[in-house]
Structure 1
Amino acid sequence: MNLDIELVHKLQIMREWFLIHQASDKVIYIIGFLIFMSLLVVLLAKRFHVPIVVGYVFLGIALSVNIIEWLPFLSEEAKEWYAFTTESFDYIATFALAFIAFTIGSELSVKILRSLGKKIIYIAILEATGAFIIVALATFAITKTLYLSLVLGAIASATAPAATVMVLKEYNAEGLLTSMILAIVGIDDAIALIIFSLVEPLALGLYLGQGDISIVHALVAPTIEIGGSILAGLLIGYFSQKFISNMEDKTKKILTLVSTIVGGSAIAIFLHLSPLITNMFIGFAYRNFARKNLGIAEYMETLTVPLYALFFILAGTEIRLDSIASAGFLILAFVYTIARVIGKVGGASLGAHLSDAPEKIKKYVGLGLLPQSGVAIALAYTVQKHFIGGESSLTVFNNIPLSDNVGLLVFNTLLFTAALTEVFGPLATKYAITKAGEIGEH
């Protein structure tokens, strides 16, 4: 009871502080500025034929807290407000990933999945496990630290759908390769979650010097989470599409769509499920249970333009230049990035060959699986929270020092490499669909 009263008192103090300092005004200033800058990015990207998402990420890096701190014309108070406000925008990433997951699911028809068949299973499993194995081996070779290599390898298995989906939409890509990429990024996060959930307890036990690994935590928990997310998504999606199919009014359709996606995320979070997998299967239900075209594609495209712009810009602002300046960190990040590209592209190509996929799938499917943010960064957050209290003296090549804080090292590595892949990943995706002849009019 005393704790509740104390918490209420603290919340009242925070509320008064936010009102006195007009915190909401600062949020409006920054969002307004970022939206305006995103317009300039679009104009430049169109002029120079560069994927828009690349421009968003570069803008975010240019507006990172470290860069802003160097500006002499801003007061210390303004700099602190900027840092505080940009770091409080986590909900934008949650919303953006929810809409992205829905978009992926809505592209996956049962007919397409049946036609692609075992090809998807082979490619998805081998590209994810390929990244895990190659990154784990490569980072262990230079750090000689098994627990660090295991968590980096597990996180490397994840592919961020956001940048890839945005490029495919921007260039109106259609065809077998496009369908294959969308299908793979759609199920990749489920595979990555399974790998991470199996590996992280083992790595944590090694880090803390404990040998006991709970089979419930390592196997049953992720199975329940993934299965529950799929079931929740299918149920929500089924009833939502049934409800929206009887509507003709645009306003009702938009509000139903938004409340379904955002509400699906809220339900998933409340039930400790995956919002990303839940919304992916909501979209899947929309695509496969609806008896007619629901006419929501145009609404989705319009609704998500500013949301995606803010998401990618804010992802770029997460980079902390002062934490990536050491030689040891740069070596680790470089090895991680190269090993992950080899694992993803090599694993996808191997899966395509084993499943006797068409030639353009063998050549180019791996190039659409390189971006990494979203789920990977969320997993890195998990590592940062769990990996505390153990002994750590980390080096690269036995003599170049790394950060002693394992959790922070993993998180910074993911932020840095995610920014890199958010830049060259979309370029690789554009190259793949161009070579495959699947770019439409735009």
Structure 2
Amino acid sequence: MEYHISKLLLIGIAIVVSYYFGEIARKLKLPSLTGYMVVGAIFGESLLNIFNDAVLDSFSFMTEVALGFVAFLIGIELNLDSLKKQGFGIIAIILSESFFAFILVFAGLYLLTGDVSLALIFGAMAPASAPAGTVAVIQEYKAKGSLTKALYAVVGFDDGLAIIIYGIAFAFAKSIIMRETTNASLNILASSIEPLREIGLSLVLGTIFGFIFCQLVRTLKTVEAILIIVFGSVILITGLSVTLHISLILTNMMVGFVLVNTRRQSLVEKVSEQLNLIMPILFIIFFFLAGAHLQLKQLPHLGMIGLVYIFSRSAGLIGGARFGAVIGGVEEKIKKYLGLGILSQAGVAIGLALIVKHELERIGTPHANKIGAAVIMTITATSIFFEILGPILTKIALEKAGEITKEKK
């Protein structure tokens, strides 16, 4: 009799082993998610190849569900009363860290390669962040304070701006590449409208579903019922976002945002309590799968483009966050440490890199194909660096700011 290993068996083993590696990581004063990612890398294509591309594709919905819950959790933390105290400061930070990252990466890679199109595309990748890493660290160490609130706001909203920057910059880059060989031109305005449509639709749908969700949970009497509706609603909204090709992060974040700003605090706390029961297992699954996706074999191909990208993106995010914090007049610990908490980069950037490669392959010129290959190879390699180091730096930032109130043993 021939046996096929059940995917349920695989994910069950992954969860149990990841938990214990997370405990080891914590004893080493590292975030637990570092251990989860190590297990993922061991089980993934880079080493044991148990979780190969086919298996990972079958679990991709789990990553989407986890991101949906992360985004909902971010939204619940965006209380308008708290945000008003930092209002202009948060806006200034989001704008400056995103544009500084874009400008420094563009400048660094243009100076290195002399290729405007390549530099524009890498610059467009730079602002994209990975909110799950930041949120997981905040949740694990029960961080509280003004820096924590600022981190929630920045990682929640900067993905929207990142999509806009990407859409416009990539449209310019494609236009330059097409003009080089065919004298054809791309309608940049039309290409720029698409990311704006995506963001606008995400915010509108998220707001509508937010009010519907509030009406549903308002009538519930038991915590079990709240758990069921929270779980079902986030999955429903995430599925709709994926179907419509809009941002599941912005849509779910707006649902949480509407809840926290329109309903009494006691109801918000009940919903948060149920979320806290769900999140630990979702974080294990998410970061295990993130680790399994890491292509460690790409590290030797990092090269000068990858190194310049790492240093210029890091400098842009940290320097931009500092500049925005100074302009916005926020408190000193946010000025000093917020930039360290927003370096994570993985899924969104890799997704954008795949889109770039696909779009440039359609142009089909040697230059376009060369840029597409460089983008996917470099972003895959640099994401390993940012996804591992980013959460560690987030923990350091929260410790320095005095906002980790309970070190887990």
TM-score, normalization by structure 2: 0.92
Q: In proportion to residue count, which structure has more helix? A: 2
Q: After superposition, where does 1:304-315 map in structure 2 within 5 Å?
A: 304-315=279-290
Deviations 1:253-306 (A, max 9, x none): 112111211111222233332211101101111111113422022221221222
Report deviation, 1:393: 5.4
Residue of 208, 220, 226 corresponding to 1:235:
208
User: Cα 1:321–1:427, aligned 2, differ >3 Å: closer, same or farther?
Assistant: closer
Corresponding position of 2:349: 376
Report deviation, 1:238: 1.1
Corresponding position of 1:9: none
Corresponding position of 1:173: 143
Residue of 92, 109, 116 corresponding to 1:146:
116
Q: How many residues end up aligned between the 2 structures? A: 401
Report deviation, 1:215: 4.3
Which of the two has higher C-alpha Rg?
1
In 2, Cα distance between equivalents of 1:115 and 1:275 = 28
In 1, Cα distance between equivalents of 2:374 and 2:6 = 31
SS state of the match for residue 284, structure 1? helix
Report deviation, 1:206: 2.4
Answer yes or no: is the 8 Å Cα contact 1:349–1:363 preserved in 2: yes
Report deviation, 1:239: 1.3
Counterpart code for 2:54: F
Corresponding position of 2:404: 439
Corresponding position of 2:24: 44
Query: In the alignment, does 2:191 pair up with 1:218?
Result: yes
Corresponding position of 1:130: 100
Q: After superposition, where does 1:280-291 map in structure 2 within 5 Å?
A: 280-291=253-264
SS state of the match for residue 60, structure 1? helix
Report deviation, 1:61: 2.4
Report deviation, 1:216: 4.5
Corresponding position of 2:371: 406
In 2, Cα distance between equivalents of 1:391 and 1:272 = 28
Residue of 225, 244, 250 corresponding to 1:271:
244
SS state of the match for residue 279, structure 1? helix
In 2, Cα distance between equivalents of 1:234 and 1:172 = 28
User: Cα 1:254–1:340, aligned 2, differ >3 Å: closer, same or farther?
Assistant: same
Counterpart code for 1:199: A
Q: After superposition, where does 1:10-49 map in structure 2 within 5 Å?
A: 25-49=5-29
Answer yes or no: is the 8 Å Cα contact 1:199–1:218 preserved in 2: no
Corresponding position of 1:390: 364
RMSD: 2.1
User: Cα 1:331–1:239, aligned 2, differ >3 Å: closer, same or farther?
Assistant: same
Structure 1 unpaired stretches of 5+? 1-19, 70-78, 395-403
Query: In the alignment, does 2:271 pair up with 1:296?
Result: yes
Residue of 169, 173, 176 corresponding to 1:206:
176
TM-score, normalization by structure 1: 0.85
User: Cα 1:266–1:217, aligned 2, differ >3 Å: closer, same or farther?
Assistant: farther
In 1, Cα distance between equivalents of 2:304 and 2:184 = 30
Answer yes or no: is the 8 Å Cα contact 2:76–2:260 preserved in 1: yes
Answer yes or no: is the 8 Å Cα contact 2:120–2:170 preserved in 1: yes
Answer yes or no: is the 8 Å Cα contact 2:296–2:384 preserved in 1: no
Report deviation, 1:66: 2.9
Residue identity (%): 32
Deviations 1:311-337 (A, max 9, x none): 1122122233344423xx332222111
Answer yes or no: is the 8 Å Cα contact 2:44–2:52 preserved in 1: no
Answer yes or no: is the 8 Å Cα contact 1:105–1:281 preserved in 2: yes
In 1, Cα distance between equivalents of 2:184 and 2:334 = 43
In 2, Cα distance between equivalents of 1:426 and 1:302 = 21
In 2, Cα distance between equivalents of 1:104 and 1:366 = 18
User: Cα 1:438–1:321, aligned 2, differ >3 Å: closer, same or farther?
Assistant: closer
Report deviation, 1:139: 1.6
User: Cα 1:163–1:352, aligned 2, differ >3 Å: closer, same or farther?
Assistant: same
User: Cα 1:157–1:211, aligned 2, differ >3 Å: closer, same or farther?
Assistant: farther
In 2, Cα distance between equivalents of 1:408 and 1:307 = 33
Report deviation, 1:63: 2.7
Query: In the alignment, does 2:385 pair up with 1:420?
Result: yes
In 2, Cα distance between equivalents of 1:412 and 1:36 = 32
SS state of the match for residue 48, structure 2? helix
Deviates more, 1:263-272 or 1:37-46: 263-272
Query: In the alignment, does 2:110 pair up with 1:110?
Result: no
User: Cα 1:51–1:336, aligned 2, differ >3 Å: closer, same or farther?
Assistant: same
